[in-house]
Amino acid sequence: MTEPAITPELVQKHGLTPEEFERIKTILGRSPNYTELGIFSVMWSEHCSYKNTRPLLKGFPTKSEKILVGAGEENAGIIDIGDGLAIAFKIESHNHPSAVEPFQGAATGVGGIIRDIFTMGARPICALNSLRFGDLTSAEVRRLFSGVVSGIAHYGNCFGIPTVAGEVYFDKSYEGNPLVNAFCLGVLRHEQIARGAAHGIGNPVFYVGPATGRDGLAGAAFASQDLTDESADQQRGAVQVGDPFMEKLVMEACLELLATGAVAGIQDMGAAGLTCSTCETAARAGTGIEIDLSKVPQRAPNMTPYEIMLSESQERMLIIVKKGREVEVQTIFDKWDLPWAEVGFVTDTGQMVVKNHGRLIVDIPARKLADEAPIYHRESREPAYLEAVRRFTLQGISDTTEPAQNLKALLGWPSIASKNWVYRQYDHMVRNGSVVYPGSDAAIVCIKEDSLPVLPDGTFGPKFKEKFIAMAVDCNAVYVYLDPYEGGKIAVAECARNLACSGAVPLGTTDNLNFGNPHNPEIFYQLRKSVEGLAEGCRAFNAPVTGGNVSLYNQNPNGAIDPTPTVAMVGLIENPAHITTQWFKDEGDIIVLLGEIIDDRDTLLGLGGSAYLQLIHGLKTGNPPRINLENEKKLHDGVRALITAGVVKSAHDCSDGGLAVALAECCISQQIARETPRLIGATVDLTEFGSLRSDALLFGETQSRIILSVSPTQLEAARTDALKLGLQFREIGVVGGDRLTIRGSQSNLSAQLTELHDPWWNAIARAMQ
């Protein structure tokens, strides 16, 4: 097959600028051939190189005494959790593929993040996700939503990993460009950490897993382009096709092989496929690598070198094996009935060399390709719309006269409503390690002996005390849109607050930065300021960033998505007695509010950017609530101390929808069996705040607030401890009855729990009918 001539048009089609092409010629000392051009295209794409964001990412805190593998070192970060155990976790996006082919796009997003975890030597034990879609009234949005959820469920359920937590938001800014962010966490012992480096000159390089096809061609480059109707039609071939049963076999075989000690390096073939895995492993080790494509298993006839190198066919791994131990690879992969092929070897040249039937095809310096992509410092300019946002006041916004109706509407709003329609499609109980299922502030899983990969002797190693890992994922993208810096801080704070309410101490953070085109100075401003906010938040809670993903060019012809820096945070609970959930427990318990009832320094009283303002008044504007990270950290430490002291029965943070929605969720969110809610009412008295607007009091989203329930016999002990800890402690009501009643000096809210539970529980299912 004759390769096309390298023309300026072809270079542009590959997403490379004329300046980048000249840089490639300088590196090579010649013009690249067609396959080399494709390789530079994917490796220098934003998805692989972070060429527009790397300077910003350096601002993240990435160190702590518990970090064993830090951000950017490998496929996922690893954190020590004591007793010689560690956890590996990461979040990544599959946005554009999910927009084009929602089922396979989402499914292979799950498959890719699972591979990132077991590539580190860890056994994956749970998954979560963060999803964003347009308005559910749109038939196209419903199609995308249904396809994505089905794809996630298919891959996770078939693979056998519980999907234990997540979030779903709906906003018109995501029309045509949904966000699909997938997270996975795995467990291993310190000595089981695997590295993705091609160590050992002369060591053989093995390809393991299914044969390479034409699916997923140049997927990394596709993810680094604006999404248009035309590009979507052209790039359906860039969406991979996943096989979760195959991935399960590949994982088990890889973990078994790692236990033998025969592996010198291992890397999954994710974004950029064989290209990425070869050049990155060589670059990490400071070595070279040579492979011959004629030895690569291929499932399509007459595949070109370009297609083989850029294919993103799924469930494939590259393994560097210690010389002389090749038979162990062959034996184990034959046992699991999996394809394998010895395709190359490690060299001392520093070059990535690719041959086909012995003929030289590619000869590129590995480090130049993997680590030295051009870096851009983009222009940043404050968006013009922020001036109107800051001018917004509550003048002309009438106070609520129907608080009960407003509450029902908010509970039935898809962004706030129960996500049971989603998570009931996921198996969240497989492996029998899930302790707190979807539906509370944070999911919690138990690390048991069989959570670990086996050691060389075939055992799980020394016994250890069971540990409990809490996880949450959050981002209020409207806040970030209205104030990128404050919104970034709040995203981290809310995630940490969810962990605190569950009784967990944060260990680390992984983030997924979803933004529009960075060449737009206003978009880059959103990105830069939100990263500053995220970094400040992670420092405040001692939750360093261990890795993550950047996904840019998320926009359709009508404009960019709301800036969405998704934050997933992981925490540790040492004692199972300290595991706490959000729902009220017993009649007669006292309801306590920790934190200010309202921030009177905020001229919008917590209503700026609020769900109430969006839904009831149709306004997406106003300065979002402020957050003081020092006060927030004190609140989290205090809640954990009260939980540890044994005086807290339930804890729930106030976030979207404000105090009234949080109280309703405490009353209606417990499920004791399938379709069997446990509804328990509450009577709350807020009459002492008579001078405040009712809408702000009920639905304002002032930050740093947590609702507790406490036994009457423990109330004074809780109050004493809270005051010693410097917390604002206010008794506001009592648990009991079959209604939620909130008394105010200007208006009262009272509703039957069944009337609140129905719209909250069924809203999404009804919209999807």
CA 94 → CA 239, 391, 673, 759, distances in Å?
10, 37, 33, 31
How far apart are alpha carbons 76 and 184 in whole angstroms?
10
- The tokens for 693 are 């607007």
How far apart are alpha carbons 706 and 651 in whole angstroms?
7
Amino acid present at 348: D
Amino acid present at 194: A
- Is the Cα dihedral 150, 153, 156, 159 positive or negative? negative
How far apart are alpha carbons 359 and 350 in whole angstroms?
19
The 3-state DSSP class for residue 312 equals coil
Please indicate whether residue 47 is annotated as part of the active site: yes
Amino acid present at 365: P
CA 673 → CA 487, 669, 677, 743, distances in Å?
37, 12, 7, 32
How far apart are alpha carbons 603 and 606 in whole angstroms?
8
CA 649 → CA 207, 580, 642, distances in Å?
53, 7, 10
Please indicate whether residue 154 is annotated as part of the active site: no
644 burial class (0-12, 13-18, 19+ CB within 10 angstroms)?
Answer: middle
The residue whose two tokens read 């990105």 is 527
List the alpha helices (DSSP H) in 342-447. Answer: 366-370, 385-391, 403-411, 420-423
156 Cβ partners below 8 Å, 6+ apart?
110, 127, 162, 163, 244, 426, 427
Asked if residue 365 lies in contact with residue 286, where contact means CB atoms within 8 angstroms, the answer is no
Choosing from 14, 47, 154, 636, the catalytic residue is 47
539 Cβ partners below 8 Å, 6+ apart?
61
Q: Are strands 467-474 and 443-447 parallel, antiparallel or unpaired?
A: antiparallel
CA 146 → CA 229, 425, 699, distances in Å?
20, 11, 30
- What are the residues facing 395 on neighbouring strands? none
Helix H or strand E encompassing 731: strand 729-735
Choosing from 14, 94, 96, 652, the catalytic residue is 94
Catalytic residues: 47, 94
